[in-house]
Amino acid sequence: MKACLILTYLLLLIMSDTAPAAVTESMVTVINSTDHGAIGDGNNDDTAAIASMLATLEVIEGPARLQFESNRVYRIAKPVIDGFAIKLMGRVDVTIDGGQSTFLLAPNVRFLHAIDCTHLSVQGIRIDYDPLPFVEADIIDAQPGQPIITVRSQEGFDLRRSGGPTRDPDEQAYFGMSWHQGPHSLIGHHQMIEEVEHLPDNTARIRLAHPYEPVNTGVDHIPTITLPVPGIAHLQGPGHVFKIYKCHSADLEDIEVWSAPWFAFGIFGNTGDLTFRHTHVRPKPGSSRTTSTWRDAFHVKNNAASLLFEDIHAQGCNDDTFNISSHGSRVWKQIDEQTFDLVQVYPLEITPLNPGDQVAFYDPTNHRFLANARLVSVQGEQAPEFRDGQPYSPILRVRVDRPVPSVVPNQTLFWSVTYSNPQTTLRRVRLYNSARLRSPVTIEDSHIEALLWITGWSDGTELPVPTDIVIRDSLLRYGRGNPTHAIIATPLEAQGDTDSRHLPGTPPVTNVVFERNRIFGGFYIGQATGIRLIENEFITEGHPIELFDIRAALLHGNTVDGEELKQKHLTLRLANDTDDVRITP
């Protein structure tokens, strides 16, 4: 009898350690949109139908699928919950299948907020806004050095919808985007808008915050501008169109975002495996639009998850296609050599901190790492505090597993290495707007016609200092984000005056690899070590290749404008203690 009990106990232990059974179709409860009154004709409001679908989901405990009919147009005229059409919290094995239908959102609606979900799947979604948050226009008169331009709306747009800022506290950085046709793609510039005066014949006079400076791209063209619609554009409102927050494993596929008042995707604090395939942010195909989203396409912050972005097309963003980074903190107070009070620089989306996580301390004045350590304990509420409606970062007390030297309160920067997106891959992406790469990333087999900006913020808002970045088998060409450079890599906004780049300490930009790429335009890496440029083809088009304050680098098998790359092709300055910079055929 005793032996039987022991055997039974061992079997239970074995069963408890096995992976959960795969979800089969027979296990899934399907919640069909037509059963809940959705019409999907683009005219009638389907908000109530979606609310009914979510109410049904609430009472289902197992795997479920929200199923919409194929190729319909669902109008969502008001939020269902907390500013979103769909909000999921703590759900496991839920699928949203849009059937490749279009969801027309009202200006104050975002589509999906997923919080603490596991094995989430989203597919077949098309997002557009009605009314649109922007108006496209041609610049028909501008005097260089003056803050006044005159514009005429393009066909299909009503210029009367444009206007100046509303001064709503939720309204951020109220700007339009001027566009100039560059040698390869559009080159855009932010134009901060103060006032719009409407004139006859669908024209308007725009007063800018700063003088307008036209861009000579060498290409004959009529410059254009995307103007914001007040009360819609730049409003943070309920947030990103898709916000994936602290989820464990998610799969998003076959999604299009054609317009957005703010950011398209917000990806924060996730773990497990997250994949984004055929998930595009671009102007609606077949339309005359230049713009898709007013800010970033993919805002990727504070993740410990393995992230894969595959077969992505991002274009028409008025900020970056990708911002891949983490939020940094400053040491507020040093308690002892291993214990510190921290305050995150940006007061929202607090980076998760857990015992056992790897963290880093950094001296931004001298550009040097102070320590890599492990968290032993974390005290304090990891959520923003709100006073009079304004967010403030909490003070968190952390203890690490080793002494940290040379810490200076209110100066030393801190970040979580564990939650700095350490396993991020972009594969077969097509990007036509700039990308900020703050944290480790691998880019493969991609086509990028915009600035790749590899750097962090010196104030600690966005970190870490760039390390472990690999870009291979891709076409990299200057365009949106910088009129001359395809690549700029620096530690913390060090680009600028050449003399200011020569800083003490260990060169902090480390392990950056460019391999088998075609690179059009300027190329700059500053204060770096572990640089490998292998078998790249540089087509400079008159722009420089610059390497400043380099300690260790290998340049092998590269060509410049059809010639073997040699030192004469570079603007090269070595770090004081350089001992290993090699250029080989």
Distance (Å) of CA 229 to CA 8, 141, 192, 283, 289: 68, 21, 13, 17, 15
Q: What is the pLDDT of residue 309?
A: 99
Q: Which residues 6+ apart lie within 8 Å of 572 measured at CB?
A: 546, 547, 548, 550, 581
- How far apart are alpha carbons 388 and 55 in whole angstroms? 34
Q: What is the pLDDT of residue 577?
A: 58
Q: What is the pLDDT of residues 275-284, one digit of tens each?
A: 999 999 999 9
Q: In 3D, which of 439, 529, 453, 533 has the Cα closest to residue 488?
A: 453
Q: What is the pLDDT of residue 498?
A: 40
Q: What is the pLDDT of residue 506?
A: 56
Q: What is the pLDDT of residue 164?
A: 93
Q: What is the pLDDT of residue 502?
A: 43
356: left (phi over 0), alpha (psi -120 to 50) or beta: left
Over the chain (585 residues), what is each successive 10-residue block's mean pLDDT? Answer: 44 45 84 98 98 98 97 98 97 98 97 98 99 96 93 95 90 90 85 96 96 83 94 87 98 99 97 99 96 96 98 96 96 98 94 98 87 98 88 96 97 97 98 94 97 85 91 94 87 50 60 97 91 97 90 94 93 70 86
pTM assigned to the model: 0.93
Q: What is the pLDDT of residues 37-75, one digit of tens each?
A: 999 999 999 999 999 999 999 999 999 999 999 999 999
Joined together, the tokens standing for residue 272 give: 């497990």
Q: Which residues 6+ apart lie within 8 Å of 518 measured at CB?
A: 474, 475, 476, 536, 537, 539
User: What are the backbone dihedrals phi and psi of residue 4, each rounded to the nearest 5 degrees, phi first?
Assistant: -65, -40
Which domains are present in the chain? 24-131+235-319 (2.160.20), 134-228 (2.40.10.170), 326-416 (2.40.10), 449-584 (no CATH)
Q: What is the pLDDT of residue 107?
A: 94
Count CA atoms closer than 13 A to 237's CA, side-chain side.
25
